[in-house]
Structure 1
Amino acid sequence: MGETIIQADVTIEGDLLAKGGTISINGHVSGDIEARAVQILAPGTVEGSINAEDVAISGQLQGSVKCDVLSLSEESIVSADVAAGTMTMKSGADLTGRVSVRGQ
Protein backbone atom coordinates (compact mmCIF):
# COMPACT_ATOMS: atom_id res chain seq x y z
CA MET A 1 0.00 0.00 0.00
CA GLY A 2 0.97 3.61 -0.41
CA GLU A 3 2.47 6.23 1.85
CA THR A 4 1.10 9.73 2.32
CA ILE A 5 3.58 12.35 3.48
CA ILE A 6 2.44 15.60 5.11
CA GLN A 7 5.34 18.00 4.57
CA ALA A 8 6.61 20.39 7.28
CA ASP A 9 5.03 23.45 5.64
CA VAL A 10 1.55 21.85 5.37
CA THR A 11 -1.34 22.25 7.82
CA ILE A 12 -4.39 20.01 7.47
CA GLU A 13 -7.64 20.67 9.28
CA GLY A 14 -9.85 17.62 8.98
CA ASP A 15 -9.80 13.85 9.28
CA LEU A 16 -7.40 11.59 7.36
CA LEU A 17 -8.24 8.03 6.28
CA ALA A 18 -5.74 5.63 4.73
CA LYS A 19 -6.91 2.21 5.98
CA GLY A 20 -4.31 0.17 4.11
CA GLY A 21 -1.53 2.73 3.97
CA THR A 22 0.94 4.75 5.96
CA ILE A 23 0.68 8.42 6.89
CA SER A 24 3.92 10.25 7.77
CA ILE A 25 3.47 13.67 9.32
CA ASN A 26 6.15 16.37 9.28
CA GLY A 27 3.60 19.21 9.31
CA HIS A 28 0.49 19.83 11.41
CA VAL A 29 -2.77 17.86 11.43
CA SER A 30 -5.81 18.98 13.38
CA GLY A 31 -8.24 16.08 13.08
CA ASP A 32 -8.60 12.33 13.53
CA ILE A 33 -6.39 9.85 11.67
CA GLU A 34 -7.14 6.25 10.71
CA ALA A 35 -4.49 4.26 8.84
CA ARG A 36 -2.55 1.01 8.91
CA ALA A 37 0.51 2.91 10.16
CA VAL A 38 1.10 6.48 11.37
CA GLN A 39 4.42 8.22 11.90
CA ILE A 40 4.59 11.63 13.56
CA LEU A 41 8.07 12.83 12.71
CA ALA A 42 9.81 15.78 14.36
CA PRO A 43 8.70 18.57 14.02
CA GLY A 44 5.25 17.15 13.14
CA THR A 45 2.23 17.68 15.37
CA VAL A 46 -1.20 16.09 15.60
CA GLU A 47 -4.21 17.35 17.54
CA GLY A 48 -6.80 14.59 17.45
CA SER A 49 -7.19 10.84 17.76
CA ILE A 50 -5.15 8.19 15.98
CA ASN A 51 -6.43 4.69 15.25
CA ALA A 52 -3.84 2.45 13.56
CA GLU A 53 -2.00 -0.86 13.80
CA ASP A 54 1.43 0.74 14.18
CA VAL A 55 2.15 4.23 15.54
CA ALA A 56 5.62 5.78 15.88
CA ILE A 57 5.96 9.23 17.43
CA SER A 58 9.00 11.50 17.32
CA GLY A 59 6.96 14.70 17.17
CA GLN A 60 3.96 15.82 19.22
CA LEU A 61 0.51 14.33 19.81
CA GLN A 62 -2.33 15.88 21.75
CA GLY A 63 -5.48 13.75 21.90
CA SER A 64 -5.65 9.95 21.96
CA VAL A 65 -4.10 6.93 20.31
CA LYS A 66 -5.41 3.40 19.89
CA CYS A 67 -3.03 0.93 18.27
CA ASP A 68 -1.45 -2.51 18.37
CA VAL A 69 2.14 -1.25 18.55
CA LEU A 70 3.24 2.17 19.87
CA SER A 71 6.79 3.49 19.77
CA LEU A 72 7.83 6.76 21.42
CA SER A 73 11.24 8.22 20.60
CA GLU A 74 13.30 10.38 22.94
CA GLU A 75 12.02 13.54 21.17
CA SER A 76 8.31 12.69 21.46
CA ILE A 77 5.90 14.84 23.44
CA VAL A 78 2.59 13.05 23.97
CA SER A 79 -0.38 14.36 25.90
CA ALA A 80 -2.95 11.67 25.19
CA ASP A 81 -4.96 8.74 26.38
CA VAL A 82 -3.15 5.64 25.11
CA ALA A 83 -4.58 2.17 24.44
CA ALA A 84 -1.93 -0.11 22.93
CA GLY A 85 -1.11 -3.78 22.62
CA THR A 86 2.59 -3.11 23.17
CA MET A 87 4.53 0.09 23.81
CA THR A 88 8.18 1.05 23.76
CA MET A 89 9.32 4.36 25.16
CA LYS A 90 12.85 5.73 24.86
CA SER A 91 14.47 7.65 27.71
CA GLY A 92 13.62 11.33 27.32
CA ALA A 93 10.13 10.80 25.87
CA ASP A 94 7.45 12.95 27.50
CA LEU A 95 4.12 11.13 28.08
CA THR A 96 1.15 12.56 29.97
CA GLY A 97 -2.26 10.87 30.08
CA ARG A 98 -3.97 7.57 30.82
CA VAL A 99 -2.11 4.53 29.52
CA SER A 100 -3.48 1.04 28.95
CA VAL A 101 -1.09 -1.56 27.55
CA ARG A 102 -2.65 -4.98 27.26
CA GLY A 103 0.45 -6.93 26.10
CA GLN A 104 0.53 -9.35 23.19
Structure 2
Amino acid sequence: MDKDMFGGRTTEMETEGTRTMATSIIGEDLIITGNIISKGEIEIEGEVQGDVYCSALTIGEQGQVTGGIVAEDVKVHGRVNGSINAIRVTLESSSHVEGDICHQALQLEHGGHFDGRSRRSDDPISAAAEGKERSGLQAVSPSENRVKPAKLQEAA
Protein backbone atom coordinates (compact mmCIF):
# COMPACT_ATOMS: atom_id res chain seq x y z
CA MET A 1 0.00 0.00 0.00
CA ASP A 2 1.14 3.50 -0.83
CA LYS A 3 0.16 6.78 0.77
CA ASP A 4 -1.39 9.43 -1.41
CA MET A 5 -0.49 13.12 -1.11
CA PHE A 6 -3.18 13.63 1.55
CA GLY A 7 -1.93 10.80 3.78
CA GLY A 8 -4.61 8.31 2.72
CA ARG A 9 -3.74 4.83 1.57
CA THR A 10 -4.11 3.63 -2.00
CA THR A 11 -3.49 0.25 -3.54
CA GLU A 12 -1.47 -0.26 -6.71
CA MET A 13 -4.60 -1.34 -8.59
CA GLU A 14 -6.43 1.85 -7.63
CA THR A 15 -3.44 3.96 -8.62
CA GLU A 16 -3.02 2.26 -11.99
CA GLY A 17 -6.75 2.00 -12.64
CA THR A 18 -7.34 5.74 -12.33
CA ARG A 19 -4.92 6.78 -15.08
CA THR A 20 -6.63 8.47 -17.99
CA MET A 21 -5.29 10.06 -21.14
CA ALA A 22 -5.87 13.75 -21.71
CA THR A 23 -7.96 14.80 -24.69
CA SER A 24 -5.90 16.18 -27.56
CA ILE A 25 -7.47 19.41 -28.83
CA ILE A 26 -6.98 20.89 -32.28
CA GLY A 27 -7.88 24.56 -31.86
CA GLU A 28 -9.96 26.74 -34.19
CA ASP A 29 -6.86 28.50 -35.53
CA LEU A 30 -5.11 25.24 -36.50
CA ILE A 31 -5.07 23.48 -39.88
CA ILE A 32 -3.43 20.05 -40.01
CA THR A 33 -2.56 18.43 -43.32
CA GLY A 34 -1.84 14.73 -42.90
CA ASN A 35 -3.14 11.76 -40.94
CA ILE A 36 -3.63 11.85 -37.17
CA ILE A 37 -3.21 8.72 -35.04
CA SER A 38 -3.96 8.70 -31.30
CA LYS A 39 -4.68 6.04 -28.69
CA GLY A 40 -6.82 8.55 -26.81
CA GLU A 41 -9.55 11.10 -27.43
CA ILE A 42 -9.33 13.94 -29.94
CA GLU A 43 -11.42 17.11 -30.12
CA ILE A 44 -11.27 19.01 -33.40
CA GLU A 45 -12.25 22.68 -33.38
CA GLY A 46 -10.01 23.53 -36.35
CA GLU A 47 -9.44 21.77 -39.67
CA VAL A 48 -7.90 18.40 -40.53
CA GLN A 49 -7.09 17.47 -44.11
CA GLY A 50 -6.32 13.77 -43.73
CA ASP A 51 -7.51 10.64 -41.98
CA VAL A 52 -8.13 10.50 -38.22
CA TYR A 53 -7.61 7.32 -36.16
CA CYS A 54 -8.40 7.46 -32.42
CA SER A 55 -10.50 5.92 -29.66
CA ALA A 56 -13.00 8.79 -29.44
CA LEU A 57 -13.47 11.84 -31.66
CA THR A 58 -15.53 14.98 -31.17
CA ILE A 59 -15.75 17.49 -34.01
CA GLY A 60 -16.84 20.90 -32.70
CA GLU A 61 -19.24 23.23 -34.53
CA GLN A 62 -16.32 25.06 -36.20
CA GLY A 63 -14.39 21.80 -36.72
CA GLN A 64 -13.88 20.23 -40.11
CA VAL A 65 -12.40 16.92 -41.32
CA THR A 66 -11.69 16.18 -44.97
CA GLY A 67 -10.73 12.51 -44.92
CA GLY A 68 -11.69 9.23 -43.33
CA ILE A 69 -12.41 8.69 -39.64
CA VAL A 70 -11.87 5.44 -37.72
CA ALA A 71 -12.78 5.49 -34.02
CA GLU A 72 -14.88 3.71 -31.45
CA ASP A 73 -17.02 6.78 -30.68
CA VAL A 74 -17.60 9.75 -33.02
CA LYS A 75 -19.66 12.88 -32.27
CA VAL A 76 -20.02 15.40 -35.07
CA HIS A 77 -21.15 18.98 -34.45
CA GLY A 78 -19.22 20.39 -37.45
CA ARG A 79 -18.33 19.16 -40.95
CA VAL A 80 -17.00 15.87 -42.32
CA ASN A 81 -16.25 15.19 -45.96
CA GLY A 82 -15.22 11.53 -45.98
CA SER A 83 -16.11 8.14 -44.58
CA ILE A 84 -16.74 7.37 -40.91
CA ASN A 85 -16.14 3.91 -39.45
CA ALA A 86 -17.10 3.76 -35.78
CA ILE A 87 -18.95 1.69 -33.25
CA ARG A 88 -21.09 4.67 -32.16
CA VAL A 89 -21.76 7.70 -34.38
CA THR A 90 -23.77 10.74 -33.31
CA LEU A 91 -24.56 13.47 -35.83
CA GLU A 92 -25.64 16.50 -33.82
CA SER A 93 -28.13 19.11 -35.08
CA SER A 94 -25.34 21.37 -36.40
CA SER A 95 -23.51 18.55 -38.24
CA HIS A 96 -22.89 18.37 -41.98
CA VAL A 97 -21.56 15.00 -43.17
CA GLU A 98 -20.90 14.03 -46.78
CA GLY A 99 -19.67 10.46 -46.98
CA ASP A 100 -20.53 6.91 -46.04
CA ILE A 101 -20.91 5.77 -42.44
CA CYS A 102 -20.21 2.21 -41.28
CA HIS A 103 -21.39 1.76 -37.68
CA GLN A 104 -22.94 -0.40 -34.97
CA ALA A 105 -25.14 2.46 -33.76
CA LEU A 106 -26.04 5.70 -35.57
CA GLN A 107 -27.93 8.64 -34.10
CA LEU A 108 -28.95 11.61 -36.25
CA GLU A 109 -30.27 14.63 -34.38
CA HIS A 110 -33.02 16.78 -35.92
CA GLY A 111 -31.40 19.41 -38.17
CA GLY A 112 -28.25 17.38 -38.84
CA HIS A 113 -27.26 16.99 -42.50
CA PHE A 114 -26.14 13.58 -43.82
CA ASP A 115 -25.49 12.89 -47.51
CA GLY A 116 -24.14 9.39 -48.03
CA ARG A 117 -24.81 5.74 -47.32
CA SER A 118 -25.26 4.22 -43.89
CA ARG A 119 -24.26 0.59 -43.29
CA ARG A 120 -24.61 -1.28 -40.02
CA SER A 121 -21.75 -3.63 -39.15
CA ASP A 122 -20.95 -5.73 -36.09
CA ASP A 123 -17.29 -4.69 -36.50
CA PRO A 124 -17.08 -1.35 -38.36
CA ILE A 125 -13.45 -0.76 -37.37
CA SER A 126 -12.30 -4.01 -39.02
CA ALA A 127 -14.42 -3.13 -42.04
CA ALA A 128 -12.35 0.06 -42.40
CA ALA A 129 -9.11 -1.95 -42.27
CA GLU A 130 -10.38 -4.42 -44.89
CA GLY A 131 -11.35 -1.56 -47.21
CA LYS A 132 -7.89 0.01 -46.94
CA GLU A 133 -6.17 -3.33 -47.62
CA ARG A 134 -8.24 -3.80 -50.78
CA SER A 135 -7.25 -0.32 -51.94
CA GLY A 136 -3.54 -1.03 -51.33
CA LEU A 137 -3.23 1.37 -48.38
CA GLN A 138 -1.82 0.30 -45.03
CA ALA A 139 -4.53 -0.33 -42.46
CA VAL A 140 -4.18 1.21 -39.01
CA SER A 141 -6.38 0.55 -36.01
CA PRO A 142 -7.04 3.38 -33.53
CA SER A 143 -5.32 1.51 -30.70
CA GLU A 144 -2.20 0.62 -32.69
CA ASN A 145 0.90 2.52 -31.55
CA ARG A 146 2.93 3.21 -34.69
CA VAL A 147 5.56 5.51 -33.19
CA LYS A 148 7.55 4.33 -30.18
CA PRO A 149 9.13 6.91 -27.89
CA ALA A 150 12.95 6.88 -27.91
CA LYS A 151 13.19 5.28 -24.42
CA LEU A 152 11.05 2.33 -25.53
CA GLN A 153 13.06 1.87 -28.74
CA GLU A 154 16.32 1.75 -26.76
CA ALA A 155 14.92 -0.88 -24.38
CA ALA A 156 13.71 -3.13 -27.21
TM-score range for the pair, normalised by the shorter chain length: over 0.9
Could you tell me which residue of structure 1 aligns to residue 36 of structure 2? Answer: 16
Q: Number of residue pairs matched?
A: 103
Identity %: 33
Amino acid at match of 1:36: S
Q: Find the aligned partners of 2:100 and 2:77 in 1 and give their Cα distance.
A: 17
Q: Find the aligned partners of 1:2 and 1:18 in 2 and give their Cα distance.
A: 11
- Is 30-39 or 93-102 further displaced after alignment? 93-102
Name the one with the larger strand percent.
1
CA distances 1:6-33 after superposition (whole Å, capped 9, x unpaired): 00000000000002x0010000000000
Q: Find the aligned partners of 1:14 and 1:102 in 2 and give their Cα distance.
A: 27
Q: Find the aligned partners of 1:18 and 1:102 in 2 and give their Cα distance.
A: 23
User: Taking structure 2 as the reference length, what is the TM-score of the superposition?
Assistant: 0.64
Deviation at 1:3, TM superposition (A): 1.1
Could you tell me which residue of structure 2 aligns to residue 84 of structure 1? Answer: 103
Unaligned segments of structure 1, at least 5 residues: none
2:26 paired with 1:6: yes
Name the one with the larger helix percent.
2
Deviation at 1:102, TM superposition (A): 3.8
CA RMSD in angstroms, aligned pairs only: 1.3
Deviation at 1:2, TM superposition (A): 2.4
Q: Find the aligned partners of 1:16 and 1:22 in 2 and give their Cα distance.
A: 11
Deviation at 1:101, TM superposition (A): 2.3
Could you tell me which residue of structure 2 aligns to residue 31 of structure 1? Answer: 50
Unaligned segments of structure 2, at least 5 residues: 1-20, 123-156
CA distances 1:74-102 after superposition (whole Å, capped 9, x unpaired): 00000011000001110000000111124
4+ runs of 1 displaced by more than 2 Å? Answer: none
User: Taking structure 1 as the reference length, what is the TM-score of the superposition?
Assistant: 0.95
Structure with max Cα Rg: 2
CA distances 1:30-67 after superposition (whole Å, capped 9, x unpaired): 00000000111111000000000000000000010000
Could you tell me which residue of structure 2 aligns to residue 53 of structure 1? Answer: 72
